[in-house]
Structure 1
């Protein structure tokens, strides 16, 4: 059985990581890559792709569950706040209850929860 709470080290979501993710996903939306464009939006500056934060979280979950992480039953994610480029974040997984065995979130260093959700392993996986 896993610990009640597991978290990653803080990582910086810098411009290089954001650009590499854009190349990997073929998502070149200027809100992620163009400072001039982003400055003219309500966000005011570039933000990381939401799925980049989600990938960081799922990598932690994979490290906890190993092969069982591939036996996905249900993943529910809510994007709550932007992760600005050059922001430090960490992923957190906490043991939940029978309805949602794993509570998930990505936190910014300022304490803001950028992403939250839950993970329910599929049939045959050990929670």
Structure 2
């Protein structure tokens, strides 16, 4: 039984955010315009939430085989923004209450949780 997900990390540059904006056609100035973002309460550009979430999928893919990934339920909340230049780590651990459930997270370089939630694996037939 797998107790922990393999942790995966990356530093997200403004260039990464710009590339993700191209891929998703989401050019919100809060993501791609540092001058605009500096005038907002955020104070700097932030990554798209789903850019960070992709790192969690990478963690899951490194931990479980492809068949398991076809049958999961993912339930997450976006808690805090990821600023351009920030480093994030995706990971998780098996729930104490359910062998088929894992608590998952994306944390920044200071350990602050940016995304949190659960992954439920389908029961085997």
TM-score computed with the length of structure 1 as normaliser: 0.88
Partners of 2:23 and 2:123 in 1: how far apart? 31
Deviation at residue 123 of structure 1 after TM alignment: 4.4
- The 1-side partners of 2:51 and 2:117 are apart by 15
For residues 53-101 of structure 1, the C-alpha deviation after alignment (integer angstroms, 9 at most, x for no partner) is 11111111122112111212x2111111110010011101211131861
Determine the structure 1 residue equivalent to 2:10.
11
The match for 2:30 is: 31
Provide the alpha-carbon RMSD of the alignment: 1.8
The aligned residue for residue 63 of structure 1 is 62
Specify the alignment match of 1:78 in structure 2.
Answer: 77
Matches within 5 A, 1:81-120: 81-96=80-95, 97-98=97-98, 101-120=101-120
**8 Å CA contact 2:31, 2:48 repeated in 1:** yes
Runs of 4+ in 1 over 2 A off after TM superposition: 3-6, 122-125
* Structure 1 gap segments, 5+ residues each: none
Does the aligned pair in 2 maintain the 1:71–1:124 contact within 8 Å? no
- Deviation, 1:6, is 3.0
SS of 2:116's equivalent in the other structure is strand
Q: Partners in 2 of 1:121 and 1:114 — Cα distance?
A: 23
Determine if contact 1:6/1:94 at 8 Å carries over to the other structure. no
Gaps of 5+ in 2: none
Q: Distance in 1 between matches of 2:4 and 2:83?
A: 29
